Structure 1
Amino acid sequence: MSSRVPRAVLAAGLAAAVSVGVMRARGRADARWPLLVRENHAGRPVSLLEGPAASAGLLAAAACVPGAAGRTAALTAVGTAGVLGAVDDFAESGASKGLRGHLGALARGEVTTGALKVIGIPVAAVVASALLRTNARTPVGRLADAVLAGGVVAGTANLLNLLDLRPGRAFKAGLVMVTGHALIDLLPGAREQCTSTALRTERDAGSRVLASGVLGTTAALLRDDFAGSTMLGDAGANALGAAIGLRSALTASRPRLVCELAVLAALTLASERVSFTRVIESTPGLRHLDALGR
């Protein structure tokens, strides 16, 4: 890693370059693999190659996270979210939708691609978080931190996927969350108390790298997403959310993780009964923000 280039800048550049590199194959890929082309909410054909492009860009950024534990955690969480999202995008099985639908299918003995995500992403998120949340003094405390942080990672991945129903919406939500996390970091008690200054410096650097990866990926892909010619799909939205969630898991205190997980759980449960799109379109401020750039 070059000492002349800040890690966060390198991560943003790599994320953008890799995302653009994958998208350059769009014309040939869409023609060769019809599964890459879907109809969007308006009945227009869109390319799902943006999802693998976003996942690849975010993985490139994750590879820049300092420290073996942080880097392994980032690659595990983002990679699993992207891969399982891609499986659901391109090999979808079963007619079940939503958390309740996939869990109901599992109860009947039917393993859908959506159910693989419901199980696989949280498991990978907890494993990744266990590599990071090592400051608690007891095994029970470390397990609690890993579960809470893993829930935030998986919950954020799911939330971004739920929002990816209109051009640019998931990217905008991601930018709002990254900005919000940075502001919350400034509040007393919002950050985990690390056992050493070196560890805190490493976690802070990892947090900046993941945020920069999100920014670089967004900058590279947002224009086509706004135009409605491409979309993130499950692969891109899940990977984007996992990166954002892990950025929080790196530095958040336990009380903050509890609060974030509670909000994410409430939104997930609300999505089973309420249409986010309907709420957004019926709320003036949200409606204007949602339409911005399209």
Structure 2
Amino acid sequence: MIPALAGVLGSRIARAVCDRRDLTSWKRKSYSGKQVCLSGGLDLLAGVTAANCAGSFAQPRYRAACLLATGSAGLAGYIDDHCEDRFPAHGKGFRGHLGALRRGQLSSGAAKIAIIGTGAMMSAAWLEVCGLSGSNRPNGARDLRVRFASGLVNTAIIALSANTFNLLDLRPGRARKVAILLGVPTGGQVGRDTAVAAAAGIGEDLLGRTMLGDLGANVLGAQLGMGWTRSSLPVRCVTLAVLLGVNVAAERVSFSQLIESTPVLREFDMLGR
């Protein structure tokens, strides 16, 4: 309860500060052509960070891993949101960014992949070293193999979850609603804290006043990914398969078009807008 309350308080304080600052450079055109401020990512980051810091009293090593994952995801998102024009190449999706890298040109997206991947790997390694992931830990050589496999799975879950929520942040409130829907039943205490922090700023998001941007969406996904690392290894493998499928599908299919053409998904997406 205390981490969740800290998440709400952190989000609301950040929102109050942002409302009093000139954030012209944070404004972008939305899908509708309206000017929207990316400061939603700041209030989400503040909420998630406050929740992790409050939770560190009970789970210090695990919450430290959460801070590492979300901090690297937030840094990568900030670079993609605000420094894209400073990179020699531009791309879209994994294929576009990695294609530019093969040509010897670095894009902000490729830098984002590297930073999120490194943060996810370090967080996953820390979980295994401290025995905090959901693995069953037998003795001997098999223990090392299981822990190595567990670390790889956790790394991929955190990184792909961060990118998945980036893909969802294309309409008002969409990424926050999915985080609330998934975080409460599947993410353990960290997932519930994340859902509460996401809900704290959803009003401005739904009204089209703010959006998460890459910064907020990456943080949201990385934090939920950390929540999913506490599941058993078989459950995490299923989670990884779903996330991988979503990210592969996104290279070929428009999620917005798919949602708008599916009545149930369309109604959920429009809820509160």
Q: Report the TM-score when normalising by structure 1.
A: 0.83
- 2:250 is aligned, of 258, 261, 271, to 271
Give the counterpart of 1:90 among 82, 85, 95. 82
Deviations 1:36-67 (A, max 9, x none): 11110001111111112211211111122433
Question: Is residue 90–residue 97 contact of structure 2 (8 Å, CA) maintained in 1?
Answer: no
Give the corresponding residue for 2:167.
Answer: 162
Aligned positions, number: 258
Q: Which amino acid is 1:268 matched to? A: N
1:212: Cα distance to partner? Answer: 3.4
| Partner amino acid, structure 1, of 2:153 | L
Residues 52 and 86 in structure 1, CA contact (< 8 A), matched pair in contact too: no
Q: Note the 1:60-139 alignment, pairs <5 A.
A: 60-63=50-53, 64-65=55-56, 66-92=58-84, 93=87, 94-133=89-128, 134=131, 136-137=137-138, 138-139=143-144
User: What amino acid does structure 1 have at the position aligned with 2:158?
Assistant: V
CA contact (8 A) 1:74 1:128 kept: yes
Shift of 1:286: 0.4
State whether residues 11 and 212 of structure 1, in contact with CA within 8 Å, keep that contact through their aligned partners in structure 2: no
Q: Compare relative contact order (CA 8 Å, sep 6+) and give the higher one, 1 or 2.
A: 1
Deviates further, 90-99 or 281-290? 90-99
Q: Cα RMSD over matched residues?
A: 1.5
Residue aligning to 2:154 = 149
Identity across the alignment (%): 38
Identify the residue that residue 32 of structure 2 maps to in structure 1: 42
- 1:126 Cα deviation after fit: 2.0
Give deviations 1:112-162, integer Å, cap 9, x for gaps: 221112122122112212222335342222111011011111111111110
Q: Does 1:232 align with 2:212?
A: yes
Question: Which residue identity lines up with residue 250 of structure 2 in the other structure?
Answer: S
More displaced 10-residue stretch of structure 1: 130-139 or 54-63 = 130-139
Alpha carbons 2:72, 2:115 under 8 Å: kept: yes
5+ residue gaps, structure 2: none
User: Aligned partners of 2:214 and 2:235: how far apart in 1?
Assistant: 27
User: Contact between 2:90 and 2:100, CA under 8 Å: does it hold in 1?
Assistant: no
Cα separation, 2, equivalents of 1:238 and 1:266: 18
Q: CA deviation at 1:180?
A: 4.2
C-alpha separation in 1, matches of 2:227 and 2:203? 24
For 1:25, what is the secondary structure of its paired residue? helix
Letter of the 1:253 partner, please give it: S
CA contact (8 A) 2:259 2:269 kept: yes
The amino acid that maps onto 1:246 is: M
Report the CA distance shift for 1:275/1:60 in structure 2 as closer, same or farther (over 3 A).
same
Q: 1:241 aligns with which of 195, 218, 221?
A: 221
Work out the CA distance in 1 between the residues paired with 2:201 and 2:3.
Answer: 16
Deviation at 1:91, TM superposition (A): 1.0
How far residue 14 of structure 1 moved from its aligned partner, in angstroms, is 1.2
In the aligned structure 1, how far is the partner of 2:109 from the partner of 2:17?
Answer: 27
